[in-house]
Amino acid sequence: MKTLLIVFHSLTGGTRQMAEAACLGAAAEPSVQARLVSARDAEAADLLAADGYIFATPENLAAMAGRMKDFFDRTYYPALDHINGRPYASLICAGSDGENAARQIARIATGWRLRAVAAPLIVCTRAQTPEAILAAKTIDADDLDRCRDLGAALAEGLAAGIF
């Protein structure tokens, strides 16, 4: 059985919804175990035990969330040279464009020598005021479908040995 690890951080619920949708999509593949783990709780052992990854973060101040950065900081060197070539994708819940958060994840993944198997999936909430930024998020059904499809595609690729 293959394992797809989905590491996420969410403060207002948007990224959690996206990660849960990806996990639901991946869980449809019977030969893949989808594991949804918060960035706070994820460890290097989780990375080493997985065959592929989805990293999901909100965009905070034009960057990935600090909690997600903490996850990468804690696990980077223990996983370095042990996960080369494994597939990954990213989910970004953004208030504006999410591009810088996606670039940051891509740079870390490049250092780990991971293989991007999909373009970053960015959902833009357009939250621009302090009140809107801090408010609980509800992600549209169409965007959740895209997240679900990404999780399913990654799981199917793992199961088929494509990745």
CA separation for the pair 78, 18 (Å, rounded)? 27
Question: Is 118's pLDDT higher than 90?
Answer: yes
Reduce the secondary structure of 51-76 to three states and give it as a string. CEEEEEEEEECCEECHHHHHHHHHHH
Cα–Cα distances in angstroms (integers) from residue 72 to residues 64, 78, 107, 139, in the given order: 11, 10, 11, 25
Radius of gyration of the chain measured on its C-alpha atoms: 15
DSSP string, 64-129: E-HHHHHHHHHHHHHHTTTSTT-EEEEEEEESS--HHHHHHHHHHHHHTT-EE-S--EEEE----S
- Give the separation between CA 51 and CA 98, rounded to whole angstroms: 26
Check: CB of residue 114 under 8 Å from CB of residue 5. no
Q: With contact defined as beta carbons under 8 Å apart, do 76 and 107 qualify?
A: no
104 has a pLDDT exceeding 90:
yes
- Contact indicator for 93, 15 with CB cutoff of 8 Å: yes
Task: Dump pLDDT digits (tens) for 34-69.
Answer: 999 999 999 999 999 999 999 999 999 999 999 999
- What is the domain partition of the chain in residue ranges? 2-160
Q: Which pTM was predicted? A: 0.97
Reply yes or no on whether the pLDDT at 96 is more than 90: no
- Virtual torsion, Cα 27, 1, 159, 34, nearest 10 deg: 30
Tell me which of 3.40.50.360, 3.40.720.10, 3.40.640.10, 3.30.200.20 is the CATH number of domain 2-160. 3.40.50.360
Tell me the C-alpha distance between 31 and 40, whole Å: 27
- How large is the average pLDDT for residues 121-126? 96
Task: pLDDT band for 99, please (50, 70, 90 cuts).
Answer: very high
DSSP 145: H
pLDDT score for 113: 98
> Which token pair is 132?
């809107």
